[in-house]
Amino acid sequence: MGYIPTSSSKKTGFNVENFIINFSDYSAVCPEGKKNRKTSLYKDGRHGIYFNKVDCVACPHNSICANTKHCKAKILTLNKDYQEIFNRRKLQETKEFRDEMKVRPPIEGTISELVRFHGLRKIRYKGQNGRQFQCYASATALNVRRFFKALTLSHT
């Protein structure tokens, strides 16, 4: 559970989010409406989506869109998990996702406190029962500590 950042830190130009991608055949349409000319699958599972050089050279956005100064056509390279990442980025824009994320900071704070002050970084006992015992003991110590802290705060 967490946010996935946008695909690029580029301040100008087009990111992969600006392209319309069809994941069934890994075809794409650029922001100017031009369809890609070729798609290839690399050995490591990434997909390369190549646009037509003639279309890209004639495009008014070529200077901010093309990959390099020497190559005048746009090439999108999507890793093998990009569809899942794309779907997750769409999901994180929904209200339901934001509502689920509201519970994360207090839980992370509790886990951080357990690790830093109650020894949960390293398990000291062997076996499943030992690990479970340490987790229960650390959680109990945390709750006792918070209880006494709340008592002292209420009397001041």
Quickly list DSSP for 8-70.
Answer: ---SSS--GGGSEEETTTTEEE-TTSPBPSEEEE-TTS-EEEE--HHHHHH-TTHHHHSSSSS
pLDDT at residue 67 in the model: 61
pLDDT at 8: 61
> Cα torsion for 46, 50, 56, 60, to the nearest 10°?
-30
Q: What is the pLDDT of residue 147?
A: 93
- Supply 79's token pair: 């890793």
Distance, in Å, from the CA atom of 12 to the CA atom of 14, rounded to the nearest integer, reads 7
On the CB side of 93, CA atoms within 13 Å amount to: 6
pLDDT tens series, the chain, 156 aa: 778 887 665 566 677 888 899 988 989 998 889 999 899 999 998 999 998 888 888 888 877 776 655 566 788 888 888 888 888 888 998 999 999 889 888 888 999 999 998 888 888 888 999 999 999 999 999 999 999 999 988 776
Give the Cα separation of 140 and 147 in Å (integer).
10
Confirm whether pTM is higher than 0.85: no
Each domain of the chain, given as residue ranges in start order, spans: 16-100, 103-154
Predicted confidence at residue 144, as pLDDT, reads: 94
